[in-house]
Amino acid sequence: MSKCKSCGAEIGFIKTSKGGNMPVDANEIATIVTADGITVRGRIAVINDAGEPIMGRVPHWSTCKSPDEFRRQ
């Protein structure tokens, strides 16, 4: 694991579809709110066309205290 140079939080990296590295939160557990207002805490997953779960990660820029410091212009 690495640490964010802006806020010091532990982060990991995943490869994007274009081959870039995207920083993601180290914690795989997230709190989400569904469209009907139900709050759920757990692992993030989406179901693909084959009906299989694909695990997701939270992009670090969505939780970082200073996300614009390293954002590309």
Return the bridge partners of 21, or none.
15
CA-nearest of 70, 68, 66 to 21 is: 70
Predicted pLDDT of residue 70:
66
- Band (3; pLDDT cuts 50, 70, 90): very high
Q: Which of 23, 28, 16 is nearest to 60 (CA)?
A: 23
pLDDT at 53: 82
pTM confidence score: 0.69
Helix (H) or strand (E) holding 3: strand 2-3
What pLDDT, in 10s, does the model give residues 15-72? 999 999 999 999 878 888 888 898 888 887 878 898 888 888 889 988 898 877 766 6
Domain extent at residue 19:
2-69
Is the model's pLDDT at 73 over the cut of 60?
Answer: no
Q: How many CB atoms lie within 10 A of CB 19?
A: 6
- Count of structural domains, the chain: 1
